[in-house]
């Protein structure tokens, strides 16, 4: 079992429960992807901007590759600068095209392993983008990119805060895909507007791709029709706020969440870090805490801080206070790897 752990102070690799020597020690790593023989890492150097590195030998050596860049900004009253702030999502389709979701809201693709990037203009130029706004960051961002395993021209992206958008033609045209979500934080007349929803994370089931799960700012939602419509799942416990969600790749009815108290108090309920799991499509949940800290725990798990492997058996959980846990039994019990890592942004299995 090999796991990549992207943190505020470097990229760590967990190999058979042992943490190996870190890559990019001291630098924030916001996303990581292994695609065929290549390993990709996105860095946010703060002073010197967003950078991307690629390794063809599993991290023995790295080379700098291009980063997505926004086109020249036309003169307008738009408040969002057309400047790359962060790569928030990085995925690859079966044709080896890389897809990068970014703050301030641009989706990019690369057909040459990151040597060059193309902005998906058809989404960026949508007039609805003017209504998007930042969620957690100053500007809106794409944090989820779901590529349909049946047809890689069908891509669904999740935006905080801009709802969900879907293309069925490889990015030529886009439509809103967040109907049924509601936003408690908006005035009543805008509550159901699909374009201003804040899905914190959206995942798609690999074996039943019409099934999606979303951890939204104010609840859990599920879609069984390819994200044409969403229904709220109200049985989630101990609370409905959170960032992360993972779905079992072979069972669309099984999903995991990491609830926190609420938006203005982003800590575990009663100081107990737990994972909520459903095995019946959200009708009921088990609250799993065996092996996780059950008193004075203030760990928050970000959008990409929960991962499931291709078998659906192994899980990984990484927190903002540097806690890392793994489970080999679908979350029934957890093994603590560390409580002293830098703040964790993303965990990802190597498979």
Return the number of the residue (45 or 130) whose C-beta is nearest other proteins: 45
The whole-angstrom separation of Cα 47 and Cα 266 is 28
The CB-of-267 to other proteins minimum distance in angstroms stands at 22
H or E element, residue 122 = helix 121-124
The CB-of-49 to other proteins minimum distance in angstroms stands at 6
Burial class (CB in 10 A: 0-12, 13-18, 19+), 237: middle
The CB-of-47 to other proteins minimum distance in angstroms stands at 4
The CB-of-51 to other proteins minimum distance in angstroms stands at 7
Bond prior to 238 in cis (omega within 30° of 0): yes
DSSP annotation of 184 reads T
The whole-angstrom separation of Cα 259 and Cα 243 is 8
Return the number of the residue (69 or 267) whose C-beta is nearest other proteins: 69
The CB-of-220 to other proteins minimum distance in angstroms stands at 34
Return the number of the residue (83 or 179) whose C-beta is nearest other proteins: 83
Return the number of the residue (46 or 94) whose C-beta is nearest other proteins: 46
The whole-angstrom separation of Cα 93 and Cα 85 is 24
Return the number of the residue (26 or 37) whose C-beta is nearest other proteins: 26
H or E element, residue 63 = strand 63-65
The CB-of-7 to other proteins minimum distance in angstroms stands at 14
Return the number of the residue (79 or 283) whose C-beta is nearest other proteins: 79
The whole-angstrom separation of Cα 308 and Cα 348 is 8
CA-closest candidate to residue 332, choices 279, 261, 262, 266 = 279
Return the number of the residue (14 or 84) whose C-beta is nearest other proteins: 84
The CB-of-118 to other proteins minimum distance in angstroms stands at 14
CA-closest candidate to residue 318, choices 286, 351, 296, 340 = 340
Please say whether the beta carbons of 232 and 291 come within 8 A: no
Q: Which residues pair with 260 in a beta bridge?
A: 241
CA-closest candidate to residue 318, choices 36, 29, 105, 100 = 29
In the complex, which residues of this chain contact other proteins (CB under 8 A)?
A: 45-49, 51, 64, 67, 69-70, 72-73, 81-84
């Amino acid at each position: 079992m090999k796991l990549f752990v992207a943190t505020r102070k470097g990229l760590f690799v967990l190999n058979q429960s042992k943490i190996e020597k870190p890559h990019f020690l001291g630098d924030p790593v916001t996303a990581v992807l292994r695609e065929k023989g290549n390993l990709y890492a996105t860095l946010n150097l703060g002073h010197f901007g967003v950078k991307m590195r690629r390794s063809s030998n599993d991290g023995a050596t790295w080379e700098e590759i291009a980063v997505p860049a926004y086109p020249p900004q036309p003169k307008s009253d738009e408040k969002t600068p057309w400047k790359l702030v962060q790569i928030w999502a990085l995925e690859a389709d079966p044709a080896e095209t890389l897809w990068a979701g970014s703050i301030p809201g641009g989706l990019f693709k690369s057909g040459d392993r990151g040597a060059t990037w193309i902005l998906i203009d058809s989404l960026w130029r949508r007039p609805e983008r003017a209504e998007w706004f930042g969620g957690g960051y100053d500007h809106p961002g794409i944090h989820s990119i779901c590529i349909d395993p049946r047809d890689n021209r069908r891509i669904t992206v999740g935006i905080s805060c801009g709802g969900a958008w879907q293309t069925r033609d490889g990015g030529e045209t886009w439509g809103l895909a967040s109907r049924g979500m509601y936003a408690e934080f908006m005035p009543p007349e805008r509550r159901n507007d699909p374009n201003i929803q804040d899905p914190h994370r959206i995942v798609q089931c690999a074996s039943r791709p019409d099934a999606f799960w979303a951890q939204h700012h104010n609840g859990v939602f599920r879609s069984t029709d390819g994200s044409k419509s969403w229904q709220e799942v109200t049985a989630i416990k101990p609370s409905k706020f959170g960032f992360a969600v993972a779905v079992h790749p072979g069972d669309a009815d099984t999903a995991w969440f990491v609830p926190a108290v609420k938006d203005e108090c982003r800590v575990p309920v009663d100081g107990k870090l737990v994972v909520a799991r459903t095995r019946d499509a959200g009708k009921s949940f088990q609250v799993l805490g065996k092996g996780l800290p059950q008193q004075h725990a203030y760990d928050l798990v970000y959008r990409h801080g929960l991962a499931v492997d291709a078998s659906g058996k192994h899980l990984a959980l990484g927190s903002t206070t540097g806690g890392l846990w793994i489970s080999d039994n679908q979350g029934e019990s957890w093994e603590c790897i560390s409580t002293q890592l830098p703040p964790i942004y993303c965990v990802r299995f190597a498979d």
